[in-house]
Structure 1
Amino acid sequence: MTRVFERPTSSPLHPSRRTVLKVMAGAGAGLTLGITLPQARAQDASPSADDSDTFAPNAFVRVLPDNTVTVLIKHLEMGQGVFTGLTTLVAEEMDTAWEQMRPEHSPADAKLYNNLHWGPVQGTGGSSSLANAFEQMRRAGAVARILLVQAAADAWGVPAGEIETRDGLLRHAASGREATFGAMAERAAVLKAPDPASVTLKSSEDFRLIGRDHLSRPDSAKKVRGQTTYAADVRLPGMLSALVRRPSRFGAVPGRIDGEAALAMSGVRAVLPLPHGVAVVAESHWQAVKAREAIKIEWDESGAVKTGSKALLEQYRDLGGTSGTTFRSDGDALAALAEPESQVIEAVYDVPFAAHAPMEPLSAGAMMTDTGIEVWAGAQSPTFDVLNIAAAARLKPDQVRLRIIQAGGSFGRRASPNSDSLVEVAAIARGLADQGIEAPVTLTWTREDDIRGGYYRPMAVHAVAGALTQDGQPSAWRHRVVTQSLLKNTPFAATLIEDGIDRTSVEGVIDLPYAIANVKGELHSPEPGIPGLWWRSVGHSHTAFAVESFIDEMAHAAGADPLVMRRDLLQDHPRLLNVLNVAAKEAGWGLPQQEGQGQGLAVHTSFNTHVAHVAEVTVKDGAIRVDRLICAVDCGLPVNPDVIRAQIAGGSIFGLSAALRGRVTLDDTGLVSQSNFHDYEIIRMGGAPEIEVHIVPSTEPPTGVGEPGVPTVAPAVANAVFAATGKRLRSLPLRLG
């Protein structure tokens, strides 16, 4: 269902900032508050804070007279459940009823809504949302409750300590008085808030919502009914549709452009050159589709990539045979590998480029206003997005109004440091204004644009060598990683690239958990010219495949049970060992298997969350079928168990798609071969296995689950295929024959 956003009638071109995009609704006086937020910024604290009848001293919690409680969510909701998780934290400490909670996106404002794990940056990623905001949002709720209790105490003339709260109600048992939070909101708004750091938070034994099963997700009903508004659903009067024609080869740029034929077509309003393509703007999407193909472009391919995947893989494999930049050196791995008594095992693993392929392709809208530019999108990195939009629109950052809207998946794609789709729509809006065309515009990437548009999980090769002592104990591990840097030339490079080592390239190896005395890690960072981007679980998506496949190979060479070898080597990592044991127990590890069937396991820590998978497979006529995936996860205190299960199950399917089907390849001339889901395949319902998720109880601070469900799937499946067939598969996607 498409929602229509109204524009004010006062100006057909320059709508006011309040009413262009009404993503929040509010009426009547109320209470808004947050954590360590300056009073001077009150009027910018929420999208409706400039309504004169709404009191807005701070940023996170707003209580209205109708007893609804709005929670401003600083992270992008893209299906991972952040609306549910962060709202739960506030509701728990406020003592509200779940039904009265209303999560909404906060504005783009790093000073108010920064990711506490990232410093002065607002953004969503790295499974950090719940982890960084766990205490912050609880304290916001606790402060709100204290103010409401004090307001009731003042109104009733009773001690605040005698007032109880429950389900959004204030009660004074001795006098029989009772009031809703909403009834006390206006009175509470004039009180001085306590220092958030000084408030007492609930003990875990007092939780009513945190850890509760079957807590309905507040955004689910609209999604099921088709009522959720995504960026492409935003419609304004006179809105135009834009598409961009991009080069067929990475690195090419437009040369001579002839847009006359396109401009002569019905409904076409503009053809606009962009740095990396040409935009066509029309009155409807389908007019833009037809006109885009009519543009004649001579591409400058002097800097274009004309190397195919096969040649790149050969280059990477050659690099894997040479020494690289050392990122870990424990003991003397080279000497241990050279010991005459040692049994040496060597293997090379490779993974292809992989597209993110979220269900909702990239889309965004924009319009020039009297104060600057309005942009609406499922923005994953608002801080960088605002800077990039401003540059594209030739404006200052404070002239950018970025409206954050729910996204239909991302897996990292909407977190591009150069904000590619947002830069395009901002440049198009500016180009239209420069031509005197006064209209809002929406930009859509088609599925083909998305699959062929780059920003992939990079290709990677891992060359691993290990040594076993005469009694079968691992004595050495040498690991060479070959993959392009994701952080080079990004804002993160200064802090996350050290001595030439991109941390995201080697995560999962630099912190190899196995107790092996001699470990050497080396990195090669080639530059293939193909845009790379963090992909769900980032470096762990390929390092875990190599590490967990190779430890299995070591166990087989030693004649040991893969579970037993892992147990012996993980004694210093009790939480990781625990999830391994839970998964193995729940899977019935070691029970006899029928011919053509096998079990495989893998265990890994990513983003401070510990995950183990056991895969059960059947191999018949050369085809691999995954029958069951059993997963154990330790993510600290489980705030929303249903969300955890959903994310780990979703991550398992995502990882299985990459393990068995998904890959992006370039032909020998540098053209991407895939274009849509018919040739960039994902697991469909008929191929989906039974999935079990077992949450390990914990009282540790919560960590994320959006990404950690992915890394262990591919190695578990590959190890299961070996158990079923005796054949080692070291390349993704996994293929027999």
Structure 2
Amino acid sequence: MQLDDLTISRRNLLQGAAASGVLLAFHMPVRAATGPFAPNAFIRIAADNTTTLVMPQVEMGQGTYTSISMILAEELDADFAKVALEHAPPDDKLYANPPFGLQATGNSNSIRAFWTPLRTAGAAARAMLLQAAASQWKVDPATCSAANSMVTHAASGRTIAFGALINDAARLTPPEKPALKDPKNFTLIGKPLKRLDTPEKTNGKAVYGIDVLLPGMKFAAVAQCPVFGGKVAKVDDTATKKIAGVYKIVQLDDAVAVVADTTWTAKKGLAALDITWNEGANAKISSAEIWADLRAASQKDGLVAKHEGDAAKALAQGERIEAAYELPFLAHAPMEPLNCVLQLTKDKCEIWIGTQVMTRVQGTVAQLLNFPLDKVVVHNHLLGGGFGRRLEPDMALLSVRIAQKLDGELEGSPLKVIWSREEDIQHDVYRPVYRDTIAATLRDGKIDAWNYRVTGSSVLARWLPPVFEALKGVDFDAVDSAADMPYDIPNKHVEFTRAEPPAVPTGFWRGVGPNNNVFATECFIDELAKKAGKDPVAFRVSMLDKEPRLKAAVQMAAEKSGWGQALPARVGRGICAQVSFASFIATVVEAEVDEHGEVRLRRITSAVDTGIAVNPDTVIAQLQGGLIFGLTAALWGEITIERGRVQQSNFHDYRMLRIDEVPRIDVHVIKSGEAPGGIGETGANAGPPALRNAIYAATGVALRRLPIDRAALAGKRSA
């Protein structure tokens, strides 16, 4: 089956999952007869002229609160200095992410998915306020204008504040298709405004999920079986019961928790337990077995995701060049470990958490408790890192299971459950292992045939089954940036072979599908360039005539990085070009490899066309952060399994790139009038292949697996 008919591209997929009612809900009036003017689900204007903007997406460091506020305030013509923010409650009807059909933050689409709905919401409210003022003044609304939360009638010199119009405006029906501003008239969008969440993050007032404190709160530390799928056999709690401040030891079938007066007491109590685990059949699983299975699966035919021309014929007629690229399991390791605060009574559950999926938390908890949905209340908070980990509701579910065991005086008490760093890393939902096999031929200095197979887990099959079923077994995420690769190749064939690792849970990790496909593609492109005797930049540019935005980014990145200029021995530059999340980005990494195989980053240069940059500062910061995130994984990131256990446990053996190891990072934002693209994950995809290609240029060693193999680089001289 060829999936072109299903339009397999992250740029326009999952639309089938978003019912028309969801899209209409963005503009449903939610006005009350009294109180603030609330023309839709996103805007409330009070009589004191303050404007509250309701955030449908979560803030986890990507600056989305500020950018969403800028979009709404731009079309509303609100005074940005008087804007207040409020997170949306769980409500798929009002706040669903359009492509997903549910309230979720991910896929680098907070701005691109909500660009039109948010602009429309702001424009509709502005039109109603203009109409209300015009009716008071008995003038044509077209002769009125708005700015800084004021309506003006220039001809008569009259002005009136939004707050004075709310009662009259509330009686009006929102227009279905309000006129949107011409981008040339934007006063906020496109400006590098300071982030609205920064002050409270610097003065300590910001509240993350882990910061929530409630009167009478108890604290729990938890230990789960170290082997995937293992169960509790027996628990000796003699020593723990002697610790002052320990209230209760909770034993579940797969975990043990200690409830105490403080987190520290709970941790001490947990450490004092003598737990015997029934490890089960998964105790024999190892990384070696997983990789052997994956490599065997990669030899099997997959389902067709893309087919153009006749790749098989072209491969048979030319010199066949082959390579295979492998990427390991990765943990998310957010700085804020998983946590949840809840208060469970007989007929209600209230939850305080930082999550990327509010309604999924609400729905799965309600299902677990057999409660009506409205009896589960979820309060969302700032996230201290998400990266896809908080797209899962498991922390809330485990916390509820612990709370169900509280009895006596503890019953109904607020409970805070915090995972240790070790629990967080060893019980993650991991980025899948991937093996990408490629075969190609060259003709006239360009790629003539391209045969590409992605072998790995299908996260989509678990996370959004209806879409996976609609695509008949092809995970569009797993082949993203492979099925729609940007290069003009006449004969192209792309497949997906599903291979689930035994026992190891897999999930979305920042960069998702493109982080394996951009790596494999861009590394192989460099090898093909060398085979063709071409400069890597010139080789790419020659095949990008049909992608002028990416071509321009490649040329700018090359120019700004000093591409082609002489470098010292053992130093190389590598480039990565990609179209992902509807953004066009080229990145050059300059790196040095010493005689021991150690790699030092010297400089990073990125050029990006992400369409209209709502806040250019945010674009630059997100790319810088994404590059550091991806390069960290390239240099050190790997989760290994032995005896059914994750071997890594904390930042001493799951390394992060440190501040003194981060080089100068220059990001050049290309001015564009196109609709915004996604930016939060593109840097994570760009860094690893650009670094590998820099190493290839410096040493001649074509690494095909991450993390970087330093032993393979030791003693190598400049290529």
TM-score by length of 2: 0.91
Question: Does structure 2 conserve the Cα–Cα contact (< 8 Å) formed by 1:96 and 1:168?
Answer: yes
Q: Which residue number corresponds to residue 207 of structure 2?
A: 229
Deviation of 1:519 (Å): 2.6
CA distance in 2, matches of 1:542, 1:133: 27
CA distance in 1, matches of 2:466, 2:250: 33
User: What do residues 45-66 of structure 1 show as CA deviations (whole Å, max 9, x unaligned)?
Assistant: xxxx9xx755656421111122
User: What do residues 109-155 of structure 1 show as CA deviations (whole Å, max 9, x unaligned)?
Assistant: 11111111222x11111011111211211122222222323333344
CA distance in 1, matches of 2:283, 2:625: 34
Deviation of 1:725 (Å): 1.2
Question: Does structure 1 conserve the Cα–Cα contact (< 8 Å) formed by 2:209 and 2:353?
Answer: yes
Deviation of 1:166 (Å): 1.9
Q: Which residue number corresponds to residue 30 of structure 1?
A: none
Q: How does 1:469-508 map to 2 (within 5 A)?
A: 469=443, 471-495=444-468, 498-508=471-481
Aligned: 1:632 with 2:607 = yes
CA distance in 2, matches of 1:329, 1:185: 56
CA distance in 2, matches of 1:258, 1:467: 64
CA distance in 2, matches of 1:397, 1:253: 30
CA distance in 2, matches of 1:565, 1:102: 50
CA distance in 2, matches of 1:525, 1:257: 39
Q: Which residue number corresponds to residue 271 of structure 2?
A: 293
Q: Which residue number corresponds to residue 139 of structure 1?
A: 120
User: What do residues 540-563 of structure 1 show as CA deviations (whole Å, max 9, x unaligned)?
Assistant: 111111110001111101111111
Match for 1:625: what amino acid? R
CA distance in 1, matches of 2:250, 2:36: 42
User: What do residues 687-716 of structure 1 show as CA deviations (whole Å, max 9, x unaligned)?
Assistant: 101111111221111121111122121111
Match for 1:406: what amino acid? L
Shift in alpha-carbon separation, 1:271–1:393, aligned structure 2, 3 A: farther
Given the alignment, which residue of 376, 384, 397 partners 2:373? 397
Match for 2:77: what amino acid? D
Deviation of 1:182 (Å): 2.4
SS of corresponding position for 2:118: helix
Q: Which residue number corresponds to residue 78 of structure 2?
A: 96
Q: Which residue number corresponds to residue 249 of structure 1?
A: 227
Given the alignment, which residue of 177, 183, 190 partners 1:204? 183
CA distance in 1, matches of 2:477, 2:408: 41
CA distance in 2, matches of 1:497, 1:707: 26
User: What do residues 4-35 of structure 1 show as CA deviations (whole Å, max 9, x unaligned)?
Assistant: xxxxxxxxxxxxxxxxxxxxxxxxxxxxx994
Given the alignment, which residue of 152, 175, 192 partners 2:172? 192
SS of corresponding position for 2:342: strand
Deviation of 1:72 (Å): 0.2
SS of corresponding position for 1:719: helix
Q: Which residue number corresponds to residue 390 of structure 2?
A: 414
Aligned: 1:724 with 2:703 = no
Q: Which residue number corresponds to residue 485 of structure 2?
A: 512
User: What do residues 238-259 of structure 1 show as CA deviations (whole Å, max 9, x unaligned)?
Assistant: 1011122111111212234454
Q: How does 1:23-102 map to 2 (within 5 A)?
A: 35-37=26-28, 39=30, 53-54=35-36, 56=38, 58-102=40-84
Deviation of 1:199 (Å): 1.2
CA distance in 1, matches of 2:282, 2:153: 73
Q: Which residue number corresponds to residue 665 of structure 1?
A: 640
Deviation of 1:94 (Å): 1.7
Q: Which residue number corresponds to residue 340 of structure 2?
A: 364
Deviation of 1:307 (Å): 2.2
Match for 1:663: what amino acid? E
Question: Does structure 2 conserve the Cα–Cα contact (< 8 Å) formed by 1:124 and 1:381?
Answer: yes
Match for 1:194: what amino acid? P
Question: Does structure 2 conserve the Cα–Cα contact (< 8 Å) formed by 1:327 and 1:522?
Answer: yes
Deviation of 1:324 (Å): 3.6
Given the alignment, which residue of 619, 630, 643 partners 1:655? 630
CA distance in 2, matches of 1:674, 1:274: 25
User: What do residues 217-266 of structure 1 show as CA deviations (whole Å, max 9, x unaligned)?
Assistant: 11111011121001111111110111221111112122344545534532
Question: Does structure 2 conserve the Cα–Cα contact (< 8 Å) formed by 1:257 and 1:296?
Answer: yes
Match for 1:77: what amino acid? E
Q: Which residue number corresponds to residue 112 of structure 1?
A: 94
Q: Which residue number corresponds to residue 240 of structure 2?
A: 262
Q: How does 1:315-334 map to 2 (within 5 A)?
A: 315-334=293-312
CA distance in 2, matches of 1:640, 1:193: 32
Deviation of 1:618 (Å): 1.6
Q: How does 1:173-192 map to 2 (within 5 A)?
A: 173-189=154-170, 191-192=171-172
Q: Which residue number corresponds to residue 580 of structure 1?
A: 554
User: What do residues 461-491 of structure 1 show as CA deviations (whole Å, max 9, x unaligned)?
Assistant: 222222224x443222222322122123333
Question: Does structure 1 conserve the Cα–Cα contact (< 8 Å) formed by 2:41 and 2:54?
Answer: yes
SS of corresponding position for 1:628: strand
Match for 1:284: what amino acid? T
Shift in alpha-carbon separation, 1:338–1:657, aligned structure 2, 3 A: same
CA distance in 1, matches of 2:655, 2:620: 24
Q: Which residue number corresponds to residue 24 of structure 1?
A: none
Shift in alpha-carbon separation, 1:395–1:264, aligned structure 2, 3 A: farther
Match for 1:360: what amino acid? E
SS of corresponding position for 1:602: strand
TM-score by length of 1: 0.88
Question: Does structure 2 conserve the Cα–Cα contact (< 8 Å) formed by 1:251 and 1:305?
Answer: no
CA distance in 1, matches of 2:315, 2:37: 69
CA distance in 1, matches of 2:139, 2:582: 47
Deviation of 1:686 (Å): 0.6
CA distance in 2, matches of 1:151, 1:493: 45
CA distance in 2, matches of 1:162, 1:259: 77
Question: Does structure 1 conserve the Cα–Cα contact (< 8 Å) formed by 2:225 and 2:255?
Answer: yes
Q: Which residue number corresponds to residue 20 of structure 1?
A: none
SS of corresponding position for 2:564: coil
CA distance in 2, matches of 1:157, 1:593: 72
Question: Does structure 2 conserve the Cα–Cα contact (< 8 Å) formed by 1:598 and 1:723?
Answer: yes
Once superposed, what is the RMSD of the aligned Cα atoms?
A: 2.3
Q: Which residue number corresponds to residue 450 of structure 1?
A: 424
Aligned residues with identical type, % of pairs: 39
